[in-house]
Amino acid sequence: MCKSGIPFVSADGNIDSKNVVIYGHSSKWDNIIFTPLMSYTDQNYYKKHDTFKFITEDETRIYQIFGVMNIDLNNLNDSLAFTQTEWDSTNSFNAFISDSINRGLYKTGVSVNKDDRLTTLVTCDTRDNNKRIVILAKLVNIANV
């Protein structure tokens, strides 16, 4: 039995949405599944781990990370737009991308365009429980299993 929970996809559950948002637990004491995400606050860690895989029953998706944010839930000015799975227009999607890159902890140099599909990983920053680590990535490859 897993006492720390398992990752879950946002409320719509659609892994084919424009932005698949996946939430998972992290821990100060145990290296549970999303604990390594806290290491992305260090740009050197990002440089060594700039991609990740999302494996389903039918395919393996490879994502390239383009942004890392540390969101403060107590700061009412901190947008929660990263939780969106779809956008009404190309302009609103582009505004989201621009805002996310500008709010990032550092510049990755990875570009994103209107045709990209995203995955966003979200976990608690256990160093400050009122913050969330948010990893934004774009789909770069799909391989069938």
Domains and CATH numbers, the chain: 8-144 (2.40.260.10)
Instruction: Report strand pairing: 131-144 vs 59-72.
Output: antiparallel
* Whether 27 contacts 126, CB under 8 Å: yes
Edge-first strand order for the sheet with 118-124 is 8-9, 19-23, 118-124, 131-144, 59-72, 51-55
Quickly state the pLDDT bin for 1 (edges 50, 70, 90).
very low
Average pLDDT, whole number, for the chain?
86
Residue 85 has pLDDT above 80, yes or no: yes
pLDDT score, position 29: 62
- Please check whether residue 131 is in contact with residue 72, taking contact to mean a CB–CB distance below 8 angstroms: yes
pLDDT for 135 equals 96
Q: Does 63 have pLDDT greater than 90?
A: yes
**Model-wide pTM > 0.85:** yes
Quote the tokens at residue 12.
């719509």
Residue 64 has a pLDDT of 98
Residue 113 amino acid letter: N
